[in-house]
Structure formats: structure tokens, C-alpha cells
Amino acid sequence: MPVIVVDMDKCTGHGRCYAVAPLLFTDDDEGRPIVLVSHVEGDSEKQALAAVAACPESAIWLEDDEQ
Ligand code: F3S
């Protein structure tokens, strides 16, 4: 099952991830994303891919969890 990865070194706080995928991300006090659901499939994977596409810093991607 794909797992969401966020590189906090790349994130500059654009906030598009939690705007387009509010079920998967929320934001902390500094506007950085907090992943609410790390493993995604089906509709949640589609939402995760929308967040990947929306991030201008390419700070989010999906990796295959081998389990
Ligand atoms: Fe950061 Fe990209 Fe979200 S810059 S706040 S991970 S849209």
C-alpha cells in the first residue's frame, strides 16, 4: 500500500497539500503539514496524488510500503 512521504527540508509552507487533501493532512502552527493518514489506497490515494501534484516544492511523494 502506498505511503505518503513529506520532506520537511523542502517544504516552505505553501499549504496546498492540506487545502487539496484535508482528510490526509492538517497544518501545524507554522503552516507545515502534519500527515493524518500515512497509508493510502483508492480514493485516499487519489487525494494523496492531488497533494503531490499541488506542492510547488515537490516536497511530497508516495512510496511503496513493502508490507
Ligand atoms: Fe509544504 Fe508543499 Fe504542503 S510546500 S505545506 S508540502 S504544499
Protein residue closest via CA to atom 2 of ligand 1: 55
Q: Which of 12, 49, 62 to mutate to test the pocket of ligand 1 (most atoms within 8 A of CB)?
A: 12
In the predicted structure, residue 33 carries a pLDDT above the cut 90:
yes
55-65 residues labelled b (16+ CB within 10 A) or e (exposed): beeebbbbeee
Q: Of 2, 20, 19, which is closest to residue 64 (Cα–Cα)?
A: 2
Q: What pLDDT score does 59 carry?
A: 98
Q: What pLDDT score does 66 carry?
A: 75
Q: Quick count: other Cβ atoms within 10 Å of Cβ 53? A: 11
Q: Which grid cell is 44?
A: 485516499
- Residue 18 three-state SS: helix
pTM of the entire predicted model: 0.94
State the architecture of 2-60 in CATH terms: 2-Layer Sandwich (3.30)
| Cβ–ligand 1 contact at 50 (below 6 Å) | no
Spacing, Cα 19 to ligand 1 middle (Å): 10
